[in-house]
Amino acid sequence: MKYLFSLALCLCAFRSLAQDNAETYPVDPASQQQANVPKGEILKFTFEQSKIFPGTWREYWVYVPAQYKPDQPACVYVNQDGIQWNAPTVFDNLIHSKEMPVTIGVFVMHGKVRAADPAKANDRFNRSFEYDGLGDAYAKFILEELLPEVEKQKTSDGRAIRLSKSGNDRAIGGSSSGAVCAFTAAWERPDAFTRVFSAIGTYVGLRGADRYHTLVRKFEPKPIRIYMQDGANDLNIYAGDWWMANQTMLRALTFAGYEVLHQWGEGGHNGKHGSAIFPEAMRYLWKNWPEPVKKGTSQNQVLSSILIEGQDWEAANDGAQVLAKKSKAKLGANRALSPDQTLLYETEPASHWVWSSQIQRDGTKAHRQKYGWLHVNDSEESALAGGLVCDMEGRIYVATAAGIQILDQTGRVNAIIPMPEGVPLKVAFGGKDSNELYATTSHKIYKRKLNTKSTAASETPTKPAPPKL
């Protein structure tokens, strides 16, 4: 027995040593200080005036490259969990070699609510809440609170700090939960961040990030470029398998047409591999700058069949009349008939369901059930479903907090078209050929031409093709 115990210890030590040996990586010259390369300055500050995460205190560092001049707003890289990857040295070298633009780095820690008496109580750590959760809260914190605070600071020689407001000039990255946080910020605000560095990303079920691989496949693609890294010995715990989750995420991004590069290894849940490939990641994310990062083309069949290349949402001057007509229709704004006029669909804002009833020959409703399943935003308790409408193929378009969710005849969301801003409240088809989708938010009315047409209760019933099960 003693021999077996000793053997087990030896095997564990051997595996640990083997993994450590496996995690030796070639050093990129950009990660080492180079002679005659101007060195940037690192400034340290604290921030504790957040209204989005009230009561939190955090530290942050600002890297300002030597080449920065305040007459031109600089590009921005935001990193969670403070300074990682030997980033200041990498930036010095890549900016000097013109492999990335003049970029100010903002390296921010997660917030914590400090205990009144540290000897008797722990601080409340906000890391998982801020980083692992879906939704736009963290992006709002960065954009509305932290970056404006950074611009109040000055370099040691008195230069004002000016940051570009263009998403094409901004990158964001991190490790583990900081990585999924970076992706979430870009996912929620692609107008503000178009370049993402994700190392050992936590795309698992801690606070809902395991949903991303599904959402990526369903949403109309966004203009985001991603560099991913993970290792085969990453975590495998109660929340999921990091290694498998990152591969699943990569397949989803590739399916959806995103510009993505990955680097897989054998390492564990640490920053060794991420630090080794960070210069390569920065070269990839900033390649061809200032050319804009563009939307890709998804393999999603519904998106491919209804979206028209070059057509996007635009302001609708005639939108009020189209939506008013829909609201005054016999069915009302929150009801729609299938093309064959045998099924009635209804929404309710307090749930994530679309109800379906069968219309009987005498005009009565029967067999009503919760039928269509809608995605719910992380910050909401329901889908906030509003108006809905059907097209001639039997697809159901529902205005929700996540955008226009498109369900097939079996009640499954196949695709989601986000709005330029705001939450869609009502939706209708209009236009000369009934192929323009109109949607209203609390501020504007938009329209978008699609490769499909509407169906209405006043038209002759039309039997669509049978659903694909």
The 10s digit of each residue's pLDDT in 328-372 is 666 677 999 999 999 999 999 899 999 999 999 999 999 999 999
Q: How far apart are CA 423 and CA 327, in angstroms?
A: 18
Which of the two residues, 384 and 457, has the higher pLDDT score?
384
Say whether pLDDT at 16 is over 60: no
Q: Is 1 within a domain?
A: no
Query: Position 203: which residue type?
Result: Y
Which of the two residues, 17 and 59, has the higher pLDDT score?
59
What's the domain count of the chain? 2
Same-domain status, 230 and 316: no
Q: Please identify, among 234, 261, 285, the residue that sits at the C-terminal boundary of a domain.
A: 285
The whole-number average pLDDT for the span 145-157 is: 98
For residue 117, what are its two tokens?
């008496």
Q: Is 105 within a domain?
A: yes
pTM: 0.93
Same-domain status, 314 and 279: no
The whole-number average pLDDT for the span 21-41 is: 92
Same-domain status, 159 and 260: yes
The 10s digit of each residue's pLDDT in 367-402 is 999 999 999 999 899 999 999 999 999 999 999 999
The 10s digit of each residue's pLDDT in 397-454 is 999 999 999 999 999 999 999 999 999 999 999 998 999 999 999 889 999 999 999 9
Q: Is 147 within a domain?
A: yes
Query: Over the chain, what is the mean pLDDT?
Result: 93
For residue 436, the domain's CATH number is: 2.120.10.30
Q: Is 103 within a domain?
A: yes
The whole-number average pLDDT for the span 153-157 is: 98
Q: Is 7 within a domain?
A: no
Same-domain status, 274 and 305: no
Same-domain status, 94 and 200: yes
Domain span holding position 412: 301-449
Quickly list DSSP for 334-379: TEEE-TTS-EEEEE-TTSSEEEEEEEPTTS-EEEEEEEEE----TT
Q: Is 10 within a domain?
A: no
Say whether pLDDT at 21 is over 70: no
Same-domain status, 233 and 112: yes
Same-domain status, 208 and 168: yes
For residue 50, the domain's CATH number is: 3.40.50.1820
Query: Position 33: which residue type?
Result: Q
The 10s digit of each residue's pLDDT in 191-220 is 999 999 999 999 999 999 999 999 999 999
Q: How far apart are CA 385 and CA 98, in angstroms?
A: 49
Q: Is 312 within a domain?
A: yes
Pair type for strands 259-265 and 225-231: parallel
Same-domain status, 152 and 196: yes
Say whether pLDDT at 315 is over 90: yes
The 10s digit of each residue's pLDDT in 38-94 is 999 999 999 999 999 999 999 999 999 999 999 999 999 999 999 999 999 999 999
Same-domain status, 184 and 90: yes
CA atoms within 13 A on the CB side of 75: 21
Q: Is 465 within a domain?
A: no
Same-domain status, 74 and 206: yes
Same-domain status, 193 and 96: yes
Q: Please identify, among 285, 311, 337, the residue that sits at the C-terminal boundary of a domain.
A: 285
Same-domain status, 210 and 340: no
**pLDDT tier at 144 (50, 70, 90 boundaries)?**
very high
The sign of the torsion formed by the CA atoms of 105, 90, 200, 298 equals positive
**By percentage, how much of the chain surpasses pLDDT 90?**
88
Least confident of 21-35, 232-246, 336-350: 21-35
